Amino acid sequence: MGVLRVILGDQLSSQLEIVAGADKGRDVFLLAEVMSEASYVRHHVKKIAFLFSAMRHYGDALKNAGYTVRYVALDDAGNSQSLEGEILRAVAALAPSRVAVTEPGEWRLREGFEALRLALPVPLDILSDTRFLCSHAAFAAFADGRRELRMEFFYREMRRRHDILIEADGMPTGGRWNYDEENRKPPKVGLQSPPRLSFRKDAITLDVLDLVRRKFPEGYGRLEPFHFAVTRRQALRELDHFIAHILPGFGDYQDAMVRGEPYLSHSLLSVYLNAGLLYPLEVCRKAEAAYRDGRAPLNAAEGFIRQILGWREYVRGVYWRFMPGYIERNALDATEALPWFYWSGETRMACMREALAHTYDHAYSHHIQRLMITGNFALLAGIEPKAMHEWYLAVYADAYEWVEASNTLGMALHADGGLLASKPYAASGNYIRRMSNYCEGCAYDPTVSVGEGACPFNALYWDFLARHRERFSRNARMPYVYANWDKMGAQKQAALRGQAQAHLLAMREGQL
């Protein structure tokens, strides 16, 4: 035979070189469901089911296009349960002239493939992942020589490079690069999610759901209802539905949070982008066209495009530039153990309970829930960053280390010391009260900082700032915060810090 072409579960794209360069008469594609990938963190069962179903549908699509496919299911006899083992097994059985794989999205896999080279009797080629719009070399060209990295400048370069929302004179559409200030409205009364698509489960998906039930009986999360698109065609329907019916309302309320509404006007497309079923440029082009055709306001289109063309590409660039040491960073010396309620959802804090319930039920919560609820609490409480990194990597269907690590360690926890974000995203209960209706009926009162019913976010917020004053008082965006702290006086400061310690003790004892 010719080349053994390995397709990873998050590379289900026909546009990659590994597919485009294949010889139908001689090459063989290998896709393998292996326990080592399904269990290296405690993945949400919906994430496992989505990937296995999407992989099986993708394998069938390759066969229907005339390619030869070696597909190894999780429960197949002889499955070695590791990617390396399945590649070695396929090489022994098929005797290819060489092996090709697209660069994986996680450092551990890249290192694994480098080590595999030594064990293989044939050469191993690691091809570029051309689904992304900024190559490693292009990101290095942006980053080299800069005193500090900031996404906003990267985003502007990407807009120009790909001619997205750029006018003939080279200026940004509408005269501004960023409409984020228009996208921070608190939820209006009655704010609801538009209707979402749900796809009929075919025999492949039903088989996968049964497999996941049997093989992961103690797995995290709720397996059904299962609504995911699992093919390229279905993912395109999700994209078209979002552009036509949901994008127009995305901008204004993208930071809002509402009880019982996990989605609101968020796209749910990241799971398909990150698995290869959608391509970032096609998504951005459709959002731009919706604005230019008058079907979506500029603040919605620009805000959505910024998440994909700007933030998604930026965090990937940061990840690869600073690995392997990035996931070990802990600039704030946070050492608290991950509270069990992150897994169980059992807490008296209504905001945390809501965000964790969405996570458990859907393998999803939107970016403000991740950043300003679960991430904000972990930041304030000083939860150990690597434990949080592994939790975020496990529980969300769109989480892969290249996108998750920088968001968690940099954006949410400031564990990278400000490499990704210029200031910590710390907030008290007042932010949550303003941007959600979560506080209504909560056991804690967001207007109370000390004493009976005091919201944990309040005292923990001030204690966090006091603990790290030496670091943050020099930050140009934070002097007013410390001025407010100083105005409180020693007695109030001591009361707040004492209350924070009481909250931390309750957290450790499972009583928060």
Asked if residue 238 lies in contact with residue 197, where contact means CB atoms within 8 angstroms, the answer is yes
pLDDT over 90 (residue 147): no
What is the mean predicted confidence (pLDDT) over 275-290?
A: 97
Rounded-to-integer distance, Cα 181 and Cα 179, Å: 6
Work out the pLDDT band at 478, boundaries 50, 70, 90.
confident
Question: Token pair of 100, please?
Answer: 């090709």
Within 13 Å and on the Cβ side, how many CA atoms surround 381? 24
Rounded-to-integer distance, Cα 468 and Cα 463, Å: 9
Which residue(s) pair with 5 in the sheet? 29, 100
* 424-439 tens-digit pLDDT: 999 999 999 999 999 9
Helix (H, G, I), strand (E, B) or coil at 5: strand
Work out the pLDDT band at 421, boundaries 50, 70, 90.
confident
Work out the pLDDT band at 352, boundaries 50, 70, 90.
very high
Task: Return the closest-CA partner of residue 231 out of 352, 53, 72, 407.
Answer: 53
Task: Return the closest-CA partner of residue 127 out of 304, 224, 5, 308.
Answer: 5
pTM above 0.85, yes or no: yes
pLDDT at 422: 86
* 447-470 tens-digit pLDDT: 999 999 999 999 999 999 999 999
pLDDT at 416: 95
